[in-house]
């Protein structure tokens, strides 16, 4: 009898909890988080992003709560954009010594979980020093920040702050995460080993920045290292050099390199078949469709409710940006992800000495709880293109296969795509029968 009563009580409580949860989902996001406290996942995410951030911030805080910080910078720097042309520049330093190269090299992060990335990036303390973007030799902190961008290995760093580092973990879909920050009083560096390829471009004050970027890429310098040096104002005609906000430098370098590569790609012959490449990482599904036509390109992103950029949506949000053979004349609506993916595709086509029309599908699922930077796009598209593609003779066959690999109906993708609609509904010369002249 007691067991029946207890069973009934438990069932009633379950019903009440479910009803409460359904009500909570309609209230303000902030209130919902308070009611949930990471236990019920009322936001629909697989893991609570607030708890992930809090855990690693709490873990790091005791190590960096000091006015004097010693550690091995990966090497890495950060240039802010708030208040431009007056910006905050400075090093990123963890409270540990040794080989910290991984912490500043996103090319090595492929295969890491979001938690792992947040864990090691949350250790990086951002030192801040306010300067005008053209003050490249103002004082010792400025000089050392630029020297750090020249280094190819971790540099032993000592920073003295005006106050203890504070602030939450900074997460953004454009830049890599980093931890708390504090204004710098002084900075010293030792054990700097200069990257001679970057150093050569630095001393060539007659070399345009775009030429320096592309030359270094062709010499095998990592994109992330080029972006760091570009941000530190190490490239360009001498009188034109200046600090570039990190967010802007990342997109600028991806855009410059891919644009230069595409100048060559557009002269190559077409691929011979329709191709589909696939990859899954960080609960993002990537499909690259290559079409045997002259270069044009589109990135389509679909964000499920509960994902990073669609946290409160009730429906999946789909966005796209595209370009034709002549390229774009305006900044892509999607932002830096567009140029990062374009770089990965263009370098692949250059290696093959072929060109094609390219459509990239990105399906972001709720497991993508936190943004980790635009590198995620570049490296995952690169990873997809390393796989052996499936090949098809007809566009319809390739599109049908793509539809089986995506959860969102292909009709929704087509509705939000310029290139797919063009392929399906725009008639071409080859569609017409040949007229025989008498």
3-state secondary structure (DSSP) of residue 238: helix
User: CA–CA separation, 217 vs 188, rounded Å?
Assistant: 30
Q: CB under 8 Å to 385, separation ≥6 — which residues?
A: 277, 288, 344, 345, 348
Q: Is residue 106's pLDDT more than 60? A: yes
Residue 436: count of CB within 10 angstroms of its CB: 5
Lowest mean pLDDT among 118-122, 334-338, 427-431: 427-431
| Size of the chain in residues | 438
Please tell me the predicted confidence (pLDDT) of residue 303. 87
Residue 369: count of CB within 10 angstroms of its CB: 24
pLDDT, tens digit (0-9, with 9 covering 90-100), for 217-239:
999 999 999 999 999 999 999 99
Q: CB under 8 Å to 58, separation ≥6 — which residues?
A: none
Lowest mean pLDDT among 64-78, 299-313, 379-393: 299-313
Give the full edge-to-edge strand order of the sheet including 296-303: 317-323, 296-303, 357-364, 284-291, 274-281, 390-392
Segment 409-423 shows an average pLDDT of 95
Higher pLDDT, 178 or 379: 379
Angle, alpha carbons 196-199-202 (nearest 5°): 160
pLDDT, tens digit (0-9, with 9 covering 90-100), for 33-44:
534 544 444 555
Please tell me the predicted confidence (pLDDT) of residue 118. 87
pLDDT, tens digit (0-9, with 9 covering 90-100), for 148-179:
999 999 999 999 999 999 887 777 778 888 88
Lowest mean pLDDT among 9-18, 65-74, 369-378: 9-18
- Closest by CA to 384, choosing from 296, 287, 300, is 287
pLDDT, tens digit (0-9, with 9 covering 90-100), for 109-119:
999 998 899 88
Q: Is residue 317's pLDDT more than 50? A: yes
Compute and round to an integer the Cα radius of gyration of the chain.
25
Please tell me the predicted confidence (pLDDT) of residue 396. 95
pLDDT, tens digit (0-9, with 9 covering 90-100), for 19-59:
334 433 444 454 445 345 444 445 555 566 555 555 556 56
């Amino acid at each position: 009898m007691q067991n029946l009563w207890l069973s009934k009580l438990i069932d009633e409580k379950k019903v009440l909890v479910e009803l409460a949860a359904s009500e909570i989902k309609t209230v303000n996001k902030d209130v919902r988080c308070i009611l949930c406290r990471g236990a019920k996942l009322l936001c629909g995410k697989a893991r609570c992003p607030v708890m992930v951030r809090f855990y690693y911030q709490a873990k790091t805080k005791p190590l960096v709560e000091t006015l004097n910080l010693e550690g091995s910078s990966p090497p890495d720097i950060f240039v802010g954009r708030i208040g431009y042309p007056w910006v905050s520049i400075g090093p990123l330093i963890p409270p540990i010594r040794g080989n910290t190269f991984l912490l500043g090299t996103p090319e090595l992060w492929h295969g890491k979980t979001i938690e792992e990335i947040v864990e090691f990036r949350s250790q990086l303390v951002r030192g801040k020093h306010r300067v005008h973007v053209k003050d490249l030799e103002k004082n010792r902190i400025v000089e050392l920040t630029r020297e750090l961008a020249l280094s190819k290995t971790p540099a032993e760093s000592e920073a003295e702050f005006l106050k203890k580092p504070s602030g939450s973990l900074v997460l953004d879909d454009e830049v890599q995460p980093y931890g708390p920050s504090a204004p710098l009083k002084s900075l010293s560096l030792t054990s700097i080993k200069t990257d001679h390829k970057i150093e050569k471009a630095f001393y060539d004050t007659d070399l345009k920045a775009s030429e320096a970027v592309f030359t270094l890429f062709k010499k095998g310098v990592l994109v992330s290292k080029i972006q760091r040096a570009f941000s530190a104002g190490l490239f360009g005609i001498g009188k034109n050099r200046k600090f570039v906000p990190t967010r802007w430098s990342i997109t600028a370098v991806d855009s410059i390199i891919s644009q230069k590569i595409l100048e060559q790609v557009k002269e190559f012959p077409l691929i011979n078949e329709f191709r589909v490449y696939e990859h899954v990482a960080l609960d993002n599904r990537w499909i690259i469709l290559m079409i045997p036509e002259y270069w044009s390109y589109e990135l389509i992103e679909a964000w499920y409710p509960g994902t990073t950029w669609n946290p409160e949506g009730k429906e999946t949000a789909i966005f796209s940006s595209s370009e034709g053979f002549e390229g774009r004349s305006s900044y892509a609506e999607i932002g830096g992800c567009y140029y990062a993916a374009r770089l990965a595709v263009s370098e692949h086509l250059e290696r093959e000495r072929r060109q094609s029309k390219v459509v990239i599908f990105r399906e972001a699922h709720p497991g993508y709880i936190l943004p980790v930077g635009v590198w995620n796009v570049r490296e995952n598209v690169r990873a997809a293109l390393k796989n052996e593609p499936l090949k098809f003779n007809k566009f319809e066959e390739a599109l049908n296969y793509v539809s089986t690999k995506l959860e969102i109906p292909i009709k929704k993708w087509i509705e939000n795509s310029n290139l797919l609609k063009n392929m399906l509904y725009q008639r071409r010369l080859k569609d017409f029968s040949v007229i025989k002249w008498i």
